[in-house]
Structure 1
Amino acid sequence: MVLESDRKRALDLEAKDVGSRLHQQLAGLDALELSEGTRRNPALRVWSAVWPMLTAVAIALLAWQAVVWSGWKDPWVLPGPKDTLPVLWDQVTSGSFWSAVRLTMQRAIIGFTVSIAVGVLIGALVSQSRILRRAFGSLITGLQTMPSIAWFPLAILLFQLSESAILFVVVLGAAPSIANGLIAGVDYTPPILLRAGKVMGLRRLNLYRHLILPASLPAFVAGLKQGWAFAWRSLMAGELLVIIGNTTSLGVLLSQARELNNTADMISYMIIILIIGIVIDQLFGVVDRAIRTRWGLDRT
């Protein structure tokens, strides 16, 4: 018995020694990768991130100008970049324009925040219950694929021309994507992590908070990104259809430019809407890269 216990103790010490050496080697490799990443010139890193976007913008402007040069439409119907970009600059430098942007972004932030709360609640309940998943799983996907503009007749009947009508459609457009993202993240949580969490005493809310949510974070962020895209599209459709009193938003400005046949103004507002969408997408990209870096998945 003494020899058996000594043998086990020796094996445990050897295993700990091997584990310690492996940890040191992995730490050395991580440090080597980090040092290689920090050797790059910051200016080069910025340029490597910016030049593809600048190239895409240049190609888009050239294609736009080529269509104008082709004579497909009269210049008053489809003005070129040289006629539209000065109008865009005038809009950007006016105070009334930024008031409209502020109202639109306020609606977007409120709608997206409510969508996150609703989507997380639904996703958490459905992902943890087989009965709820069978009952509502397909319904959530169906709501996600349903065009948000189809909800506006009902929203106007329920809430008239009000902020609530816009918020209603934004939430219905974004919440299903957020819920599906959380459900997918929970589904792909490795079972070994769940068993380890239960062995460590994690149950119910603590298990969800300390293990399942962190493990499902990449898929959840992807769901948030998709949810924002649906929320932004729903909001733009809502501002075009639901005009509330004397309020001025990007959708209202776009609608007024269309009614006045002012194509240059209309295209400039469309460019601003596109730029806002790109900026928010870049913010989600920063969060995604931070998560991948934390998990050791960033190979750039």
Structure 2
Amino acid sequence: MATDTTVPPARRTSDDDLAAGLDALETPVAAPRSPAWRAAWRAVWPVLAALGAVLVVWQVAYVLELKPPYALPSPADTWQTLLGTIQDGSAWRAVTLSVQRAAVGFAMSVVVGVAIGVALAASPLLRRAFGPIITGLQSLPSVAWVPAAIIWFQLTDATMYAVILLGAVPSIVNGLLAGTDQVPPLYLRVGQVLGATGWTRIRFVLLPAALPGFLGGLKQGWAFAWRSLMAAELIVQTGLGTGLGQILDLGRVTSDMSLVIASIGLIFLVGIVIELVVFAPLERHVLHSRGLTGQVSSR
């Protein structure tokens, strides 16, 4: 008597449903796109609400006279001072000069930091020898380098670039090393099988794979570069132009607290703009190209 080996219809249907379900899990679901203005509003309104709360607390502190008016001016007085610096062009000139200095110093820091980071990543001996030194330099306040830089380069822009380099390079190096540490070993083995050795292995396997983690080091490096520049501009007074740090110091010298707060606000604003305009789009592009972001995070 022959045995019926035909799969029952119910079992066949169950297997088909299971396969369809697995295929559905692998199929990206396109999330409905919300209007651009709504997405922008969702991103902006929490920031506006937080700024509004800060202004309310500031105004209350001013009304209660927790500090004398010369030490704690009102938001309105500070706004008038800021408008004055914008109208006479001094704010724009200071912002432009400081951003140019920071951009040049940061570019040099990236070149130096990547070169050092690649060398340490490629040589375990160099990393054991210089890794703790790099970490120690990263924890050193940038302002500590200003006196030494003045002695080395006198009162010139080279002093500011030196402070930026010494402040930003350690963060970039450690960011690159952190990125390379997160590279799956399988990538390196595949590269070796395909014949990628030496600089080819670093250029086409290690660095591209480490890029998502390295972005964090770049962002931190920029933050250190910007902070280092402000520390240098506060101390170094050159005849090559007035930056934001020098305007901040001018407010201190003249006891103009409104100018001090306005300068701090401009320094803060530049940091936010650089993050939103440069690093956030770059990070989204890199992560999206690697399939590391989903539709849920973008809504």
Q: What is the CA–CA distance in structure 2 between the aligned matches of 1:82 and 1:95, rounded to whole Å?
A: 20
Q: Choose from 53, 73, 83 the match for 2:77.
A: 83
Q: What is the CA–CA distance in structure 1 between the aligned matches of 2:176 and 2:264, rounded to whole Å?
A: 32
Which structure 2 residues correspond to residues 105-254 of structure 1 after superposition, within 5 A? 105-245=99-239, 247-254=241-248
Q: What is the CA–CA distance in structure 2 between the aligned matches of 1:253 and 1:134, rounded to whole Å?
A: 43
Which structure 2 residues correspond to residues 62-77 of structure 1 after superposition, within 5 A? 62-77=56-71
Residue 288 (structure 1) aligned with residue 279 (structure 2): no
Give TM-score, length-normalised by structure 1: 0.87
Contact 2:164–2:229 (CA under 8 A) maintained in structure 1: yes
Q: What is the CA–CA distance in structure 2 between the aligned matches of 1:231 and 1:246, rounded to whole Å?
A: 19
For the residue of structure 1 that corresponds to 2:173, the secondary structure is: helix
Letter paired with 2:284:
R
Q: What is the CA–CA distance in structure 2 between the aligned matches of 1:85 and 1:213, rounded to whole Å?
A: 46
1:188-211 per-position Cα deviation (integer Å, ceiling 9, x unaligned): 110001111111121222211221
C-alpha RMSD of matched pairs (Å): 1.9
Cα deviation, residue 185, structure 1: 0.8
For the residue of structure 2 that corresponds to 1:216, the secondary structure is: helix
Mark the runs of 5 or more structure 2 residues left unpaired by the alignment.
1-18
Letter paired with 1:134:
R
Q: What is the CA–CA distance in structure 1 between the aligned matches of 2:126 and 2:24, rounded to whole Å?
A: 43
Structure 2 counterpart of 1:17 = none
Q: How many residues align?
A: 275
Give TM-score, length-normalised by structure 2: 0.87
Cα deviation, residue 174, structure 1: 0.2
Structure 2 counterpart of 1:58 = 52
Q: What is the CA–CA distance in structure 2 between the aligned matches of 1:171 and 1:192, rounded to whole Å?
A: 35
Structure 1 counterpart of 2:33 = 39
Structure 1 counterpart of 2:256 = 262
Q: What is the CA–CA distance in structure 2 between the aligned matches of 1:130 and 1:50, rounded to whole Å?
A: 45
Q: What is the CA–CA distance in structure 2 between the aligned matches of 1:85 and 1:121, rounded to whole Å?
A: 45
Residue 29 (structure 1) aligned with residue 27 (structure 2): yes
Larger CA deviation: 93-102 vs 39-48 = 93-102
Cα deviation, residue 131, structure 1: 0.9
Letter paired with 2:174:
N
1:107-155 per-position Cα deviation (integer Å, ceiling 9, x unaligned): 1011000000010000000011011011100000000000111111111
